[in-house]
């Protein structure tokens, strides 16, 4: 027989994985748009499979080392703010997938963090980073 606490823990353990898959899919899609839409440079096309492997490793590390433990034990406002801030700063090198992965990680932690100004700032920075990453993929 399952308990309410057991169901909540099982739901949380699936939660970080779902967000991780979403982050990888968004980062890969934005990278594909950047590589295949617009000017076709053969060296970028040839490097795309390596970029996908890099994105898989980056997403795996972020969601395994930062998001999973925080969803299981409860996240802090500081962790959300740091991930959102790093996603925003990562816009400088948007092609590396940092805004998509780190921004989604911050959003994944939001339900597990206490409501505070740091959490709100982190979420705002993550949203700006994600929107900026989409714009940069199409423009840049």
Q: What is the 3-state secondary structure (H, E, C) of 71-113?
A: HHHCCCHHHHHHHHHHHHHHHHHHHHCHHHHHHHHHHHHHHHC
pLDDT of the chain, 140 residues: tens digit per residue: 445 554 555 455 578 899 999 999 999 999 998 888 877 778 778 888 999 999 999 999 999 999 999 888 887 899 999 999 999 999 999 888 999 999 999 999 999 999 999 999 999 999 999 999 999 988 87
29, 101 contact by CB (below 8 A): no
**pLDDT at residue 75, as a whole number:** 78
Cα 130 to Cα 128: distance, rounded to the nearest angstrom: 6
- Please tell me the total count of domains within the chain: 1
Radius of gyration of the chain (CA): 16
How many alpha carbons lie under 13 Å from residue 23 in its C-beta half-sphere?
34
Write out the residue range of the structural domain in which residue 83 sits: 4-139
């Amino acid at each position: 027989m399952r308990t309410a606490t057991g169901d909540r823990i099982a739901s949380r353990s699936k939660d970080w994985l779902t967000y991780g898959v979403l982050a990888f899919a968004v980062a890969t899609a934005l990278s594909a748009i950047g590589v295949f839409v617009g000017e076709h440079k053969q060296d970028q096309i040839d490097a795309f499979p390596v970029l996908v492997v890099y994105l898989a490793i980056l997403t795996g590390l972020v969601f395994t080392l930062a998001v999973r433990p925080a969803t299981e034990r409860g996240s802090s406002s500081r962790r959300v703010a740091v991930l959102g801030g790093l996603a925003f700063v990562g816009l400088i090198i948007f092609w590396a997938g940092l805004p998509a992965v780190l921004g989604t990680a911050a959003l994944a932690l939001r339900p597990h963090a206490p409501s505070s100004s740091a959490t709100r700032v982190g979420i705002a920075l993550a949203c700006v980073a994600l929107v900026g990453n989409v714009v940069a993929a199409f423009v840049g």
